Structure 1
Amino acid sequence: MPLGGLKSLASLLTALPLGGGSLDEAARSFYLVPLLALAVGAASASPSALAVEAGVGYIAGGAVYTLAYILLTGGIHMDGLADYSDVLGSRASGGEALRILKDPRKGAFAALALSLAIALSIVFPGEVLRLSSPGAFIILAASSHSGAAASMYMLLAAGPPEPYRGMARAFSLEARGRVALFAATSTASATASSAALALYGYPWWLVPLQWLSSLATGVWVLRSARSTLGYVNGDVAGFCFEASRIASIVATALALGVAGV
């Protein structure tokens, strides 16, 4: 079940040609999402690390990372970022918030949020590349994705599930019953990342800092969802992942700059 479930989860959350997966199986295996995100983050960061090693600039390296990430995931989380940003920008709640969320047209706030997210996803990873080594960057990027996935899991586990038979409802309900398994995979991911980072000579505490940044962002998104929609759906989850990932990598760049390592 873990391998089959991981394949179903990867089929849903990435653009990899793995064949169709079972939604129910993916939901039951959702506790593995920190490990899946760790792998996706490492795969997204590796081309940019190689590019910097080959002599491209750091900002260009950040752009390579962002492009690889979007290609690997199909931009699934960024779509949620755009949709829920329109809700936040409108300050609507209840039925009006849902109407805005389901409108297939992207509004001005969605365009602004996407532009800002992409800019931050280029500039701050570029700064991390400048302040660290290519190998350390891969670890830090992977950990930022893993922490963001953990934030998304906790959002779906703690938030009110969507009151209709949407895809996120199954994940919300399954997440609540597998918190212990999720805690184990999260601990394994964070511990492995911290140990690997220390081997490269960088402070191990950068990984807990990333996770704390992500989880704090998740708490904010949960409070926001309660006051707008009244529940958590797939768009809110996607927004949470992107906001948490960006908060994590920004915190990483700032900490590296302050620590001077």
Structure 2
Amino acid sequence: MQRTVEVNSTVSRIVSLVPSQTELLVDLGLREKLVGVTKFCIHPTELRREVQQIGGTKNAKIDRIRSLKPDLIIGNKEENNRADIEALEKEFPVWMSDVFNLEDALDMLMRIGELTGTEAKALELKESIIQNFDQLKTLKSTGKSVLYLIWKDPYIAAGKNTFIDSMLKTLGFENAVSEERYPEAVLETLVPDYIFLSSEPYPFKEKHLEALQEQFPASKIILVDGEYFSWYGSRLLGAPAYFLKLLNLLHN
């Protein structure tokens, strides 16, 4: 965003506007410094009951955030509403991430570590994530196409130039849609090898799988954990193990 963000030498009151980065802040040992989180910050599970909720990622409650007097707000360029960020940055230090792939995610992790004085823990997490992702290099798909759906009515897919797409590429898959970002999927024009139905933001269930299977009898359709494909914080630690199980399931 081409901005300079100035923070106090010691950050003590943090508002997080992104669920995956909220989980990262907790894993960096900053739970006691979190004073505000979104209603979608579900990890750790009890956090929303213990920390003030400040609305959603797209509709932050500015007055509530103002009352918390944060000395650092952490957001994301894709997930948050631009108008909210522009309003908040007039009063508070607002640091924004912009994550499209694993390299970006690791850079974000280290920058948040620097901002919050948790560089050592951030480096430890980074090295563990890299080590875990190295396990995937010996077990990949063979260029099969995947339609990754994140929404229904209309069907919305994760397209090119998204973090989800980068995870699919990491596993050796080809994205079945050619458009960038999150296009409406015209199912009649697609013949994917696999269809992944994400658990978020739309909570796809078995009944949705069965309905699509009738339309795509030749495609293998499975429900997938969307957090491992789209959360770019410390949840990446467990993503490779999940991906290995997924690839083994597809290969059997």
Same fold (TM over 0.5): no
Greater relative CO, 1 or 2 (CA 8 Å, sep 6+): 1
Higher helix share: 1
**TM-score of the two chains, using structure 1 as the length reference:** 0.27
TM-score (norm 2): 0.28
